[in-house]
Amino acid sequence: MSINFKISAVPTRENRLGSVTGYSGDLHDIVNKSKCGSLKNRDRCFSQSSSCNAGCALGQLSGIRDIAIINHAPSGCTAMAPNTDVTNRQLAAKRGITNATVFVGTDMDEKDTVFGATGSLKEIVLETYKRYNPKAIFIGTSCLTGIIGENVDSVVEELKKEIPVPITAVHCEGFRSRIWATGFDASDHAVLTSIVKPPEKKVDVINFKNFYESAREEITDIFSNFGVKPLFLYQNSTVEELSHLSESLATVSICGVLGSYLGNGLQEKYGVPFVNTINPLGVSGFETWLRGIGKVINKEAEVEAYIERERAIYLPKIEEVKKELKGLRAVLGMGPGYTYEVSRVLQELDMEVVWAASWHHDKKHDSGELPAALKYLGEHSPYNFKVSVADQQNYEILNILNEYKPDIYFSRHPGTTVWAIKQGASALCVNDEYMIFGYKGTLDFAYTVLDTIKNRSFEKNLAARVKLPYTDWWYNQNNSTFLKKEAK
Instruction: List residues binding ligand SF4 (CB under 6 A).
Output: 52, 54, 73, 77, 142-143, 173-174
Helix residue ranges, H only, 195-299: 216-224, 239-243, 256-270, 282-296
AA identity, residue 132: Y
- Three-class secondary structure of residue 239 per DSSP: helix
Cβ atoms < 10 Å from Cβ of 394: 19
Q: By C-beta, is 77 or 155 nearer to ligand SF4?
A: 77
Task: Say which residues have a Cβ less than 8 Å from residue 160's Cβ, sequence separation at least 6.
Answer: 167
Q: By C-beta, is 57 or 435 nearer to ligand SF4?
A: 57
Q: By C-beta, is 52 or 219 nearer to ligand SF4?
A: 52
Q: What is the DSSP letter of 77?
A: G
- Residue 234, preceding peptide bond in cis (omega within 30° of 0): yes
Q: By C-beta, is 16 or 171 nearer to ligand SF4?
A: 171
- Three-class secondary structure of residue 109 per DSSP: coil
Q: By C-beta, is 145 or 358 nearer to ligand SF4?
A: 145
Shortest Å, Cβ 433 to ligand SF4: 24
AA identity, residue 88: N
How distant, in Å, are the alpha carbons of 191, 205, 292, 408 from that of 202?
20, 8, 19, 47
Q: By C-beta, is 173 or 366 nearer to ligand SF4?
A: 173
Q: Which H helix or E strand runs over 169? A: strand 167-170
Residue 418 backbone phi and psi in degrees, to 5: -65, -30
Task: Say which residues have a Cβ less than 8 Å from residue 306's Cβ, sequence separation at least 6.
Answer: 222, 225, 226, 290
Q: By C-beta, is 183 or 265 nearer to ligand SF4?
A: 183
3-state helix, strand, coil in the chain (%, to 5): 50, 15, 35
Q: By C-beta, is 143 or 463 nearer to ligand SF4?
A: 143
Q: By C-beta, is 99 or 142 nearer to ligand SF4?
A: 142
Shortest Å, Cβ 142 to ligand SF4: 4
How many whole angstroms separate alpha carbon 183 and alpha carbon 196? 19
Nearest to residue 392, comparing CAs of 78, 22, 15? 22
The neighbouring-strand residues paired with 252 are 208
Q: Sign of the CA dihedral 333, 338, 343, 348?
A: negative
Q: Which H helix or E strand runs over 20? A: none
Shortest Å, Cβ 337 to ligand SF4: 22
How many whole angstroms separate alpha carbon 37 and alpha carbon 369? 11
Q: What is the DSSP letter of 487?
A: P
Q: By C-beta, is 150 or 173 nearer to ligand SF4?
A: 173
Shortest Å, Cβ 103 to ligand SF4: 14
- Cα 253 versus chain centre, distance: 10
Nearest to residue 206, comparing CAs of 227, 178, 235, 176? 227
Q: Angle formed by the axes of helices 216-224 and 438-454, to 10°?
A: 150
Name the residue with the smallest CB distance to ligand SF4: 174
Q: By C-beta, is 73 or 449 nearer to ligand SF4?
A: 73
Shortest Å, Cβ 50 to ligand SF4: 9
Shortest Å, Cβ 51 to ligand SF4: 9
